[in-house]
Structure formats: structure tokens, C-alpha cells
Structure 1
């Protein structure tokens, strides 16, 4: 049923943001190369790292940045702006479903329908564009804000009971939030942990969706032999999505069920005996009103716009999924990266992004 599908899509925007690749930590593992590896690197590398250790770092962020450079570490420029393009899909689980109806004359419900309505599969697909601005406050701590726009989100809902129905609604919306990331090096790898929280405002939801994302990644930096600022990074990890379960909203009957033929209406009426008595008195009135409004519309005698009211709990079918990713760094200002949620079941996503970094304000 289309109205229920609308509620599910939002999960993906999180992966958007969500799902933003956090490989900014990679350069934190690039310690000054030791003497036994000097034959591998060019004289340009030696001059570059020597200059880092000798320079007078005069920028506000990261705090303690001058001490880190003097110890032979090459860290990212402190401020970054990232533009991300994201596509993904996720299977969802719905429960505790309540349905109501609002007409020009009356409002009924919402009434509990969880004993009657059974979904066989709910899958949401989304494309979003998001921007993230971040600051390395400390060499190991990054703080960021993000803003995402979803120009396209569709959800395919397959209803198994009381009758088989399928729908694929579409809508758009906005998401914004904040996050923290901790990162550091351990031998030949870098390790990163990320937490962010967001709010989403979507067309068909009366409440904003609060979501929390937790991610862990472990990666390795492959340095260029020619240019000390160029490198290629790869990583693996896991990401979990946790959101407030309760969803409330309404959608017009014409949007939720736009093309219901007479055969399907007759099937609903004929199936009454198998589920109708399970409903509360209010639930029976809601079901009767919806079926009657569908019949009136089909007969060419609509009685004003009818709205389906809904309340439900929803969650990703699998909260955790594995990720793989890679990044090419052209220099310390420009990086190009990709990441995918493709390890595990019930979720798949692809993220492509470009990142620009700069030094920021000088100390007074």
C-alpha cells in the first residue's frame, strides 16, 4: 500500500550522510619514513618530510598541530568541504501499524491494523546529494556538519495480507546533522571511529526522523614513489544505523492507491471473512470507509479528498552492514573517493565524493 511505502524511504538518506566516507584520517598514519626505506623514496620525499619537521605551523586548527608536524607526521589540512553523491537501497521492517481515515465529513482512527496487514517485502531506494564541512579540532578528532537533499526517493511495498497489493511511491526531503570522528595510526594501518546524528524532514511525515549512525573503518595508505602528497588508500569496515522507531503521517487516498481496479476492490470485500472480525469497532469503520471511497472514485462519484492516516514503527531490516572503500589523493587539497555498503544482506549503496581541504585561519 503506497501510504506505508512513503514512510520507509527515509532510512537511506542516513546512509547518505550517512554513509559519508570518513577516510580523512588516512594521512595521520604517514609518519616520517625511516632510514632503511630511503632507497624507496625520491629526494623530493626527503626534502618534503624534512620541511614538515622544521616548519613553524601557524594555523588555529588542529590544536597541537605544530607538535604533530615536528614529530614527523603529515596530517590533513584542518578544514574540508566534501560534496557527495549517494545511491542506495535497503530492506525495511514495519510493525505496530495503525491506520485511520480523514474525509471532509469525519475522522476515524488511527486503529490497530497490525493483526490484519502483513507486508511481504519493503524496499527503499534513494538518491541524494549532500555537503559536509569538517574541522580537525585536534590531530585525532574531527567535528563536522552535514546537509543533504533527496531529490528522489522511492519505496516498493509488497502487501501479502489481507490481499496482495504492490506500490512504488516517490517523494523528496532534507536532512541535516552533526558528527564526530576519532582517528589514528596503528603500525601500517589507520583506524577510525565515527558517530553522527541527523534529523530528516520529509514530505509525507508529520514528525521529523532522528537517526544515529556509528561506523568503524581500518585502512592502509599506499604512498606515491614520485610525489609525497599523492597517495591511494583502501579500507574495510562496518556501519550501523539506529533511528527513532515511531513514524506518523498522512497521504491522500489518490496518491496511496491511485489505480485500484474493480477486481481488486471485489477481492478485498470477498476476503472480509478472513480478517474483518479481527479489527476493533473503529478499525472496522476505517476499513469500510476506505473501501467505500475506493468504490465511489471508481464509479465516478468522489466525495471530496480522502486522507489515509498512519502510525507505525520502522527500522532497517539489518542494522549493520560491511563497507569497503578507496580514495585517491591528488594533493593535500584535493581527494576523490568511493565507498560501498556491499558486505552483508538487506543493504547496498554506492557513494562517490570529492573533497577540498585548506589550512584555515592563522593564529593571532
Structure 2
């Protein structure tokens, strides 16, 4: 936990440094000479047939003296993010029994620290429309804290494989540009039974600054991002696995807390809730006595509600030439922080 807190503190410093970089670079580059295409260069472009199949209407754009980026690309992205999620309407079921609400249990917002490696292949189908597919692998550190009727900390490290697709609508005028991104994804997470569906929507506005060499530039952007995920989540753990998450001292403390506090809340529970609590206490006692509690499954279901779904995105991209692009971007919003870096290789056919 201390290590993750240090990582988050470093991430906040990185976001601050990126903000400073954007505000320092923008006025400096705004006062420099921007190398636009001369009339001779535009005439030269018109005279050369467009060499690639994509994008559609690429030749028409070339005839107007506009130079397009290479149409195809592969991108590798690394993302580190922290998100907070509220657990609402929690329900559990032992074995094959029906789900029972445990709304008497108080959860603090769950903190997730996630590292993601994302692979993306894309193509400019039209000069204004880019389509892409993604695959990502992620590993998370999730911290679940129960504060009532017992105090319990649960640490999980789920992994996930994500598949998805998306599109970008782009528009540019002289040195300025706008890009709208929309993608959908499905994450198969080790801790859940069903894939988590996600939707990311973002809008970025920016300016490009040429650096003196042809096709070499820095692009600074600011934008907003909205992310939605499937709220309904369910999974399963065996009772043996659950108790195995805790050491012997924690289990004894857990038993004592149940015994000490039951008289304050137990009598107010419904009959199905009392049955579930009694079963868990009996299984815990058997486990502490060294008895085999078997592989009785504890199924769970809850709604994951993000503390916040919006973030402000600030980015800097360095285009070394028409083939290699490098990007650094940070996002911050209510209950979420993110830093991203990527390498993009572009080519044409």
C-alpha cells in the first residue's frame, strides 16, 4: 500500500510537471516561426499522384495541396491510473442458495491502481475518419475496506484482457486541430464472472508547432474524457479462499469483532440475512478449529459506481517524422487520475 501511495504521489507530480511543460512550451512556440507549406510545395504535392490506397479521397485532398499523415499505424501505450469506485446494492449467496442483500455492511470507496499495456492498429479510412482495434492486458491492485459491522481490509490483484474497437473524427485548420474519439471495449477480468463493458468518449483541441525540419513538430492539446463501465458485477470465491486471504491473527480478530458487535445490529437483520451471517460464523469457527470447510462457493453481486466519470486531459505529442510519433498525456478528475505514454509507428500501402 505504501508503495502504491508513493506511485500515486509521483503520478501527481508528473501531472503537475506536464501542466507546467504545456504552459511553458505554448508561449515559446507561439512566438516562433511556423513553417507552413509554400505555394511551390503545394504545387509540387498536386503534381505527385497520391501513392496509397487509403484514405478514400486521398487524391482529392492531395490535389488541394494538403499533405496527409501516413494512413496505417501500430501504437503501443502504457497507462497507469487510479480510480475510486463505490460498491452499491451488495448481495451474497452461499452455495446454491438465493442472493441475500447485505445492505447492513458499510464499504468505503474501493481504490483501484491499474497498469495497462495497450496495443492498437488503426487506419485512416477517410481523411477525417480513423478506425481502430485494440487489445490490452492489465493488472490491478484493489483495496476493499469494510467499516461496519466489522473492520476488514481485503486486497485483490485481478488481471484482465480487453478487446475493443473505436473511431476518431478529426478536423484541422492551419496549425489548429480537433479530434473526437469514441470506443467500446469488453474486459475479461479474473475476479468477475462476466465481461466488463466500457465506453470511452473524448474531445481534444490543440495546436501544432513545427520545429524547423520537415514533418517534425510538437502538438499540444487539452480536452475532456468521459468513461462509463458496466455497473452490475458478479463473481465467486470459495470460503476457503476468502479465509485464506487473512492471516490467523486477522481471523481471530474477525471472530471477536463479530461476537462483540452482533448484539448491536444482528437483531435488526431479516431472517435470510441472519441465516447467511450464522452460516459464515459457523464456517469461520470450523476454519479456525482446523476443520475442512470444503469448496463451498460464496457468490457475490454488486453495482460498481465510479466516484467520477469525467476527467480533463492534457497532452504533448512529438512527431519525429512521418513514421514515428511519441505522446505523453495526463488526466485528472473526481476520483480518477491517469498518466499515459505511447509510441506510434505509421506507414502506407
CA contact (8 A) 1:109 1:286 kept: no
Aligned counterpart for 1:87 among listed residues 73, 80, 85: 80
- What do residues 158-200 of structure 1 show as CA deviations (whole Å, max 9, x unaligned)? 1121122112111212010111110102454211111111111
CA contact (8 A) 1:108 1:286 kept: no
Asked if 1:293 corresponds to 2:256, the answer is no
Count of residue pairs brought into register by the alignment: 314
Residue of structure 2 in register with 1:118 after alignment: 106
Q: Secondary structure of the equivalent of 1:207?
A: coil
CA distance in structure 2 between the partners assigned to 1:265 and 1:49 by the alignment: 78
> Cα distance, 1:308 vs. partner?
1.8
Aligned counterpart for 1:238 among listed residues 204, 224, 248: 224
- Structure 1 unpaired stretches of 5+: 1-38
Asked if 1:73 corresponds to 2:66, the answer is yes
Q: Secondary structure of the equivalent of 2:161?
A: strand
CA distance in structure 2 between the partners assigned to 1:47 and 1:308 by the alignment: 73
TM-score calculated relative to the size of structure 2: 0.84
CA distance in structure 2 between the partners assigned to 1:303 and 1:169 by the alignment: 22
Asked if 1:201 corresponds to 2:188, the answer is yes
Change (3 A) 1:70 1:278: farther
Residue of structure 2 in register with 1:315 after alignment: 305
Residue of structure 1 in register with 2:150 after alignment: 163
Residue of structure 1 in register with 2:203 after alignment: 216
Aligned counterpart for 2:324 among listed residues 329, 334, 337: 334
CA distance in structure 2 between the partners assigned to 1:315 and 1:174 by the alignment: 21
- Structure 2 unpaired stretches of 5+: 1-32
Aligned counterpart for 2:292 among listed residues 278, 296, 302: 302
CA contact (8 A) 1:45 1:228 kept: no
CA distance in structure 2 between the partners assigned to 1:40 and 1:113 by the alignment: 63
CA distance in structure 1 between the partners assigned to 2:280 and 2:216 by the alignment: 62
Give the 5 Å matches for 1:123-134.
123-134=111-122
Residue of structure 2 in register with 1:358 after alignment: 347
CA contact (8 A) 1:217 1:238 kept: yes
CA contact (8 A) 2:217 2:319 kept: yes
CA contact (8 A) 1:81 1:357 kept: yes
CA contact (8 A) 1:109 1:282 kept: no
CA distance in structure 2 between the partners assigned to 1:211 and 1:241 by the alignment: 7
- What do residues 105-134 of structure 1 show as CA deviations (whole Å, max 9, x unaligned)? xx33320112x1111221111112111111
CA contact (8 A) 1:113 1:279 kept: no
Q: Secondary structure of the equivalent of 2:275?
A: helix
- The range that moved more, 174-183 or 292-301, is 292-301
Coordinate RMSD, CA, aligned: 2.1
CA distance in structure 1 between the partners assigned to 2:39 and 2:323 by the alignment: 20
Q: Which structure has the higher relative contact order (CA within 8 Å, separation 6+)? A: 1
Residue of structure 1 in register with 2:254 after alignment: 264
